[in-house]
């Protein structure tokens, strides 16, 4: 994978050029390479060996109520913190490495490939700290975020509740004002239950910083309706003084139970009660009613991160099944009788399954890193670059999250299939990758919600669509110059036109409720177009002498021959204005 990462980061996305910008002036291509070297090495040495244990030794609660994890998980997390990656993209003034997001994501890719279960703790802590740095007071940054950036404390995101699922506006956790003058911020007492809290309880760090969404009651004691009434609070597991010293008092955050999951078992996942047996002290971050806006500040990075996990699970499965297929001999080419069995990588259908995995894993990684580069443009580009990057990211984030989640899962299924019965056993890692990857269509905005986000919010903005179309057209025009790519360029142009038509068709009524019916099929068609564009653009940046050229060419050929036609099929009901689902009465099911 390293050669692919290097190509994507340095040749395709030209991260080296970022060093000309003030924010990254202390860096060079060499320091970026060193970061990737470190990540690749630590991931291989500490994360990969811990991946099976974190699955089979699932987190459990001991007699003292502590959540027990394998020692190898703790060692992996510690090794991660020692790399400094926890503060990779943060400002130097906060102790960060001030790396571009694209280098941070590329580095984290190695950890995700080695063990998503071990990586859950650090990714959540990183997101938590970023949010406090962006929206917290100087004191909150100093006390909470700074300790998270070193790994002394860790963090969570507490959004959902047992009764509400994705419908955050209905949350019922309440925060009653206690004292507006606490040095750590306006102080509240929280009461409520929070569900699906990853890394919600463990003994990996001396404290856990929960970021909790709750509502401040109105004067009559009722909670404000809808998402506009949501505020955000820092609720530490252990209470702290204004200097961040632990007071020894346990805050009112209690573990109700662990969720026993299909996969991704290495990361504990909890139901937590706040303010049940003792008061749960929380400090508001940002203004009252701005909780959701604050929480979603880091949403782009979080969703790229989920997509990256999915891409890397796909990559892990691809590498393992490719190695197996080159090694395992069985059967002979069709039509050949006698002779020695050949490696199964020579059978056409096995080649199909391997090439599909390559196209998915590498294509998805490329898209994730492309989005990370857009985050960098938002952070350090010219005003025009910032505006363009924001518009493009809006459109691409639902794809960067959902496409790897859906097709990375399919890639893992193909990896199992390459191994046959062996792939179905726990003697090989493929089945774990597949189980782990199944989460990615669910968390951080379900697949259906990504479709609604794309179609109802993002694709309803003509300017953003035009911007993306211009970028796709750049690739088309460049590829048309090369006879070896011209057919694909024409197919890509036709696909772009089709997505444009589908967008108009979905919105034909102007009514979001009618458009909503098309969310997921539209997302899938749109996503395959984006990946076809990605592959053609990758190929045109891989000169024929490049060591990756033949592989990129095969993956691009595969994508245009076998995958892009599916976009047309998914968009067919959108283009036809199919009203079946809108009209369907669930009682006939």
CA 364 to chain centre: 11
Does residue 438 touch its own copies according to CB under 8 A? yes
Note whether 60 and 69 are within 8 A (CB): no
Site for its own copies in 88-147 (CB under 8 A): none
Count of alpha carbons within 13 angstroms of residue 24, beta-carbon side: 26
Note whether 209 and 154 are within 8 A (CB): yes
Note whether 244 and 140 are within 8 A (CB): no
* Shortest separation between residue 404's beta carbon and its own copies, angstroms: 16
Nearer to its own copies, 84 or 343 (CB): 343
Does residue 446 touch its own copies according to CB under 8 A? yes
Task: Count other C-beta atoms under 10 Å from residue 243's C-beta.
Answer: 10
Task: Out of 65, 248, 513, 545, name the contact with its own copies by CB under 8 A.
Answer: 513
Task: Out of 138, 221, 335, 483, name the contact with its own copies by CB under 8 A.
Answer: 335
Note whether 283 and 182 are within 8 A (CB): yes
Site for its own copies in 141-160 (CB under 8 A): 160
* Shortest separation between residue 349's beta carbon and its own copies, angstroms: 4
Note whether 282 and 378 are within 8 A (CB): no
Nearer to its own copies, 357 or 378 (CB): 357
Sequence-distant (≥ 6) Cβ neighbours of residue 510 within 8 angstroms: none
Task: Out of 23, 351, 386, 471, name the contact with its own copies by CB under 8 A.
Answer: 351
* CA distance to 72, 318, 358, per residue, from 411 (Å): 28, 7, 8
Does residue 322 touch its own copies according to CB under 8 A? yes
CA 86 to chain centre: 16
- Only one of the segments 44-52, 60-68, 216-224, 340-348 lies at the binding site for its own copies (rule: CB under 8 A); that segment is 340-348
**Residue 187, both tokens:** 């102080």
* Shortest separation between residue 270's beta carbon and its own copies, angstroms: 12
Does residue 314 touch its own copies according to CB under 8 A? no
**Residue 500, both tokens:** 């444009």
Phi/psi at 160 (5° precision): -75, 165
Count of residues for the chain? 589
Window 263-282: contact mask with its own copies (x via CB under 8 A): x-------------------
Count of alpha carbons within 13 angstroms of residue 368, beta-carbon side: 33
Does residue 545 touch its own copies according to CB under 8 A? no
Does residue 451 touch its own copies according to CB under 8 A? yes
- Three-state SS for 245? coil
Task: Out of 337, 510, 544, 545, name the contact with its own copies by CB under 8 A.
Answer: 337
* Shortest separation between residue 566's beta carbon and its own copies, angstroms: 5
The alpha helices in 344-382, defined as continuous H runs, are: 348-380
* Shortest separation between residue 336's beta carbon and its own copies, angstroms: 8
Site for its own copies in 170-189 (CB under 8 A): 170
- Only one of the segments 179-187, 239-247, 286-294, 423-431 lies at the binding site for its own copies (rule: CB under 8 A); that segment is 423-431
Does residue 290 touch its own copies according to CB under 8 A? no
Does residue 456 touch its own copies according to CB under 8 A? yes
Does residue 345 touch its own copies according to CB under 8 A? yes
Task: Out of 210, 297, 435, 540, name the contact with its own copies by CB under 8 A.
Answer: 435
Nearer to its own copies, 6 or 410 (CB): 410
- Three-state SS for 573? helix
d(CA 503, CA 328): 47
Does residue 352 touch its own copies according to CB under 8 A? yes
* Shortest separation between residue 184's beta carbon and its own copies, angstroms: 31
d(CA 251, CA 400): 38
Task: Out of 144, 196, 433, 488, name the contact with its own copies by CB under 8 A.
Answer: 196
* CA distance to 15, 404, 441, per residue, from 467 (Å): 22, 23, 27
Q: How many residues bind its own copies (CB under 8 A)?
A: 97
d(CA 430, CA 299): 29
Task: Out of 283, 434, 526, 535, name the contact with its own copies by CB under 8 A.
Answer: 434
d(CA 49, CA 40): 13
Site for its own copies in 223-242 (CB under 8 A): 225-226
Distance from first CA to last CA of the chain, Å, rounded?
A: 46
Nearest to 243 by CA among 117, 135, 147, 123: 147
Nearer to its own copies, 90 or 267 (CB): 267
Does residue 569 touch its own copies according to CB under 8 A? yes
- Only one of the segments 4-12, 32-40, 126-134, 434-442 lies at the binding site for its own copies (rule: CB under 8 A); that segment is 434-442
Nearest to 416 by CA among 403, 435, 401, 400: 435
- Only one of the segments 10-18, 376-384, 461-469, 572-580 lies at the binding site for its own copies (rule: CB under 8 A); that segment is 572-580
* Shortest separation between residue 123's beta carbon and its own copies, angstroms: 18
Task: Out of 60, 260, 501, 504, name the contact with its own copies by CB under 8 A.
Answer: 260
């Amino acid at each position: 994978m390293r050669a692919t990462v290097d190509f994507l980061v340095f040749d395709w996305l030209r991260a080296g050029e970022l060093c000309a910008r003030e924010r990254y002036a202390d860096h060079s291509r060499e320091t970026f390479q060193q970061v990737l070297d470190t990540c690749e090495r630590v991931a291989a040495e500490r994360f990969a060996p811990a991946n099976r244990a974190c699955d089979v030794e699932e987190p459990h609660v001991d007699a003292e109520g502590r959540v027990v994890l394998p020692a190898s998980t703790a060692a992996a997390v510690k090794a991660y913190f020692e790399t400094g990656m926890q503060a990779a993209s943060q400002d130097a003034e906060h102790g960060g490495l001030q790396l571009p997001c694209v280098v941070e994501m590329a580095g984290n890719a190695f950890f995700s490939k080695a063990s998503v279960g071990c990586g859950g703790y650090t990714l959540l802590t990183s997101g938590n700290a970023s949010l406090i740095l962006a929206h917290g007071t100087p004191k909150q940054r100093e006390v909470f975020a700074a300790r998270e950036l070193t790994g002394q404390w860790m963090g969570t995101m507490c959004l959902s509740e047992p009764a509400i699922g994705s419908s955050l506006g209905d949350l019922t956790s309440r925060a009653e004002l206690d004292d507006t003058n606490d040095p750590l911020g306006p102080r509240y007492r929280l009461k409520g239950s929070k569900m699906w809290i990853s890394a919600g309880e463990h003994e990996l760090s001396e404290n856990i910083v929960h970021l909790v969404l709750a509502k401040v009651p109105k004067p009559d004691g009722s909670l404000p309706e809808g998402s506009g009434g949501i505020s955000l609070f820092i609720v530490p597991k252990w209470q702290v003084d204004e200097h961040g010293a632990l007071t020894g008092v346990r805050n009112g955050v209690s573990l109700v139970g662990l969720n026993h999951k299909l996969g991704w078992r290495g990361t504990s996942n909890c139901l937590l009660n706040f303010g049940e047996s003792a008061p749960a002290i929380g400090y508001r971050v940002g203004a009252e009613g701005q909780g959701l806006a604050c929480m979603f500040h880091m949403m782009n990075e979080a969703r790229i991160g989920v997509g990256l996990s999915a891409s890397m699970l796909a990559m892990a499965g691809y590498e393992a099944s490719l190695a197996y297929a080159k090694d395992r001999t069985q059967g002979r080419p069709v039509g050949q009788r006698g002779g020695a069995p050949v490696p199964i990588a020579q059978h056409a259908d096995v080649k199909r399954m391997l090439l599909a995995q390559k196209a998915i894993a590498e294509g998805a990684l490329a898209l994730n890193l492309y989005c990370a580069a857009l985050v960098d443009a938002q952070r350090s580009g010219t005003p025009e670059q910032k505006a363009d990057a924001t518009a493009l990211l809006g459109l691409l984030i639902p794809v960067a999250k959902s496409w790897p989640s859906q097709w990375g899962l399919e890639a893992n299924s193909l990896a199992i299939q390459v191994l046959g019965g062996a792939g179905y056993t726990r003697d090989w890692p493929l089945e774990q990758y597949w189980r782990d990857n199944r989460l990615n269509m669910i968390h951080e905005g379900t697949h259906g919600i990504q479709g609604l986000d794309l179609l109802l919010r993002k694709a309803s903005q003509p300017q953003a669509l035009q911007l993306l179309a211009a970028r796709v057209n750049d690739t088309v025009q460049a590829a048309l110059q090369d006879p070896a790519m011209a057919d694909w360029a024409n197919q890509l142009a036709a696909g772009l036109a089709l997505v444009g038509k589908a967008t108009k068709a979905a919105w034909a009524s102007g009514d979001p409720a009618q458009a909503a019916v098309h969310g997921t099929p539209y997302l899938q068609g749109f996503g395959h177009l984006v990946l076809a564009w990605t592959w053609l653009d990758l190929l045109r940046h891989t000169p024929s002498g490049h060591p990756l050229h033949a592989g990129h060419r095969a993956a691009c050929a595969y994508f245009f021959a076998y995958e892009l036609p599916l976009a047309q099929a998914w968009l067919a009901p959108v283009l036809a204005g199919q009203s079946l689902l809108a009209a369907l009465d669930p009682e006939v099911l």
